[in-house]
Amino acid sequence: MEKWKDLNIKDKIAIVSAIVAFCAGWALSIAAFLVPPIGEIHDSVLWILGQSLVYCASVFGVASYFTSEAVRLRHDLKKMMIGYEERMAASDSAD
């Protein structure tokens, strides 16, 4: 897991904007309960909440997917290189 100071500016902007969208979506939904007619939420407010949640999921989901894929790729490459080194050592000792 990367630390905040190690992230590039693009990732920082994506994370901050996802957090802002998440908070704004929920704040708008809560505020919709408080304006007349009290207790009813208009469809547009629910649509905005849904869009903000989809955006958050895409930012955090895509980031975690690529992080896990990069870790898996490094693991596979390391395993492949160890196997290659073992084969090279075996062929050198056979000579």
- 8 Å CB contact between 56 and 44: no
Cis peptide before 36 (omega within 30 of 0): no
Encoding tokens for residue 20? 């802002």
* Range 64-73, long-range pairs (CB < 8 A, 24+ positions): 67/1, 67/2
Q: What was the pLDDT predicted at 95? A: 61
Report the number of distinct structural domains present in the chain: 1
Helix or strand (DSSP H, E) at 93: helix 43-94
The per-residue pLDDT for range 32-78, each reduced to its tens digit, is: 888 888 878 888 888 999 999 999 998 888 777 777 888 889 888 99
For 8-17, 67-76, 85-94, which range has the lowest pLDDT when averaged over its residues?
A: 85-94
Provide the residue range defining the domain that includes 89. Answer: 4-94
